[in-house]
Every structure is written in structure tokens, then in C-alpha cells.
Amino acid sequence: MIEVSHIEKRFGDNVVLKDVSVTLAEGTVTTLVGPSGGGKSTLLRCINLLEVPTAGTIRIGDKSLAFQPGRKVGWDAIQPLRRQTGMVFQNFQLFPHQTALENVMEGLVTVLKWPKEKARAHALELLQKVGMAHKADAWPATLSGGQQQRVAIARALAPSPRVLLCDEPTSALDPELAEEVVEVLSRLAREGTTMIMATHDLRLASRVADQVLFLDGGLIVEHGAPSHIFQAPEQERTKKFIASLNAGHSYEI
């Protein structure tokens, strides 16, 4: 279970998240949608503590951490929670001086201290899972954007995190390359991988999500099943946002 309780995040006088609370069951996929600046990426980064919340509590499985204004949180407290998450970034963030295989192996060898052969075997399994085993020895610069993102997903999965966090995983890709990533994430969802992803891609959200949260102004304005949020939203802010994304497109719900 992933539980976010009364999370607030401030940058100076700017309150980016305002008393956000949500409980997510393991084995489910939650997508965060909403306008840019609404708090989606900040919420993801707070869950894995790339951004430390100003106040509130985060629980992942049996690990939890509480935050208070003015109280510094130490690295030793952050690590047990962060190690239960895997992060997929918008712009891939692969190491350019390492092959696809080495990118997936890196965290296992450097952080978890796995023997290289064990790490190599596991990394190859994950590259196979995302359809990239044939590019194991390729440099990132020789890969398409969709291929790089699939390697990044394999890397995030390498330490077997409890939850996979994806920040706009298709936004840097053209539609054809984005479809490769959507298919991989759909497969992971069918296999029961717990995921939370911020996205503007309603095709991705409608295909993989069990629950959709609409964030605006640092608040969860509305939440529910994709069919509810995308076809029959109740809040006026949600209706306007979904209409703006749906203009000229149709999505399979």
C-alpha cells in the first residue's frame, strides 16, 4: 500500500501541494492528470523524496516518514523509502557513456553491490521484458527516443521496487515512438506492477489506469475510474481540462 497523507510542499511562499491525501493499493495503476504547474510532477518527486515535503506523511509498504516545517530529514531516513521506488523520467536520463545493458546494471552493482554476473543476467531479463534485449550493447545515442525510454523503464525496474513512478513517460516522443512505451507500460500493468504516473497522454492514462487523479492548483480536484474522469467528470475544472485535451481526438476507454 502507498499512502500519502496531508502532504504539503512549499517553495518559499509558493505552495505547490496543498494538503494532498490519497491511498493506493498495491498492484494498481494510478495516473495523475491536470494542467502544467498543477502539482503532478511535484507529487511524484515527493513520493520518492527527490523533493522533501514540507509537511505530511508518506508510507510505502511498512516504511513511513513524517515531515514537519523546519525539520530537516536525514539521508538515513530517506533511503529506506526511496529504495522502494523506481523512477522513469520524461527525458530518459540514461548515462551516455554506458551501453543499454550497463545502464540497467549500474544501480544493482553500485548501490546494491550485486556481483556483476548476477546483475548482468537480471538486466538482460529486464531488457527482454521491455523488448530491448537485441540492443543490450547499444549506446544511448544510437537509440530512438522510444528505445531509450524502454531501457529507462528496465533500469527503474532493476532493483524490484514496490512502486514504479513515471513522470510524463511519453511526452518527449512522437506518437509512433510513444506507442512503444505505452505498450510496455500496459504490459507491466497487466502483470500487476504498481505504478503512479503523471501524464498528459489520455491514450496512456485510459489504457493502463485503474484510478485517475485530476490535480489543479496543488489540490486533488477529482478522482475516479478513467471512464468517470474522461467521459463524465463532475467538477467544472476537470470538464474544461479534459475537453481541451480531447479536442480532435478519440480515446479508447
Write out the three cell numbers for 115.
556481483
Residue 203's pLDDT is: 81
- Which one-letter amino acid corresponds to residue 184? V
- Map out the domains of the chain with their CATH numbers: 1-84+162-253 (3.40.50.300), 94-160 (no CATH)
Tell me how many helices (H) and strands (E) the chain has: 9, 10
Residue 201's pLDDT is: 84
Q: What integer is the mean pLDDT of 207-214?
A: 92
Backbone phi, psi, residue 152, to 5°: -65, -35
Task: For residue range 137-171, list pLDDT tens digits in order.
Answer: 999 999 999 999 999 999 999 999 999 999 999 88
What is the pLDDT of the chain when averaged over all its residues?
Answer: 91
Global confidence as pTM: 0.91
Q: What integer is the mean pLDDT of 79-107?
A: 93
Helix (H, G, I), strand (E, B) or coil at 186: helix
Which percentage of the chain shows pLDDT scores above 70? 97
In this predicted structure, the answer to whether residue 176 has a pLDDT above a threshold of 90 is no
Helix (H, G, I), strand (E, B) or coil at 218: coil
Helix (H, G, I), strand (E, B) or coil at 163: strand
Distance CA 189, CA 209 (A): 8
Residue 246's pLDDT is: 67
Q: What integer is the mean pLDDT of 174-178?
A: 85
Predicted confidence band of residue 29 (pLDDT cuts 50, 70, 90): very high
Residue 207's pLDDT is: 86
Residue 250's pLDDT is: 41
Helix (H, G, I), strand (E, B) or coil at 23: strand
In this predicted structure, the answer to whether residue 205 has a pLDDT above a threshold of 50 is yes
Q: What integer is the mean pLDDT of 86-109?
A: 94
